[in-house]
Amino acid sequence: MEDRVLTTQSGMPFRTKAWPDADYAGLDEGIRFAVRLLRARGFDTCQSCQGGPGHSYDRPTVDLIAGPSDAIGFGALDVLVSYGLPVRDVSLVWNIDRGGVPHERLWRITLWSMVSERADEVPLFGWGYVCQG
């Protein structure tokens, strides 16, 4: 992730965090914007797929690394919904090893449909404030 300094229409500088565009080149178009949003807001994604025939999932899906707080999945849901993405469901998934033991916990978020038209849109999140006098 890199720190970028951008300017508003009035020329005021503001800062944002963004991953370099090259990091997204290999992602499916239908889920790319969702991954961009989540990463920009600090969520660790571990796999994604736009879904459909020939893909790993039947629907657009993003998996996130579950942390010590169960709030992570709901925070990710808030980010996606606030940007108008069609979230279908959010679930906490326990992967089971071949011995029948749970060994990995992930948040899985699926969308109702792909958002290919927003694949290359770059989300910007500014923070801080600017005093004007």
- pLDDT, mean over the chain: 84
Q: What is the pLDDT of residue 126?
A: 59
Average pLDDT estimate for 67-82: 91
Instruction: Name residues whose C-beta falls within 8 Å of residue 18's C-beta, 6 or more positions apart in sequence.
Output: 1, 2, 4, 40, 122, 123, 124
The residue with greater pLDDT, 84 or 1, is 84
Angle separating helix axes 71-82 and 29-40, nearest 10 degrees? 120
> Which pLDDT score, from 0 to 100, does residue 42 have?
86
Structure tokens at 86: 């069609």
Does residue 73 fall inside a structural domain?
yes
Q: 3-state DSSP call for residue 16?
A: strand
What is the domain range of residue 50? 27-117
Global pTM reads: 0.78
Query: Considering only 5-9, 20-24, 36-40, 59-63, which range has the smallest mean pLDDT?
Result: 5-9
Q: Within a domain: residue 3?
A: no
The answer to whether residue 1 is domain-embedded is no
CATH code where residue 44 lies: 3.10.28
- Per cent of the chain over pLDDT 70 is 78
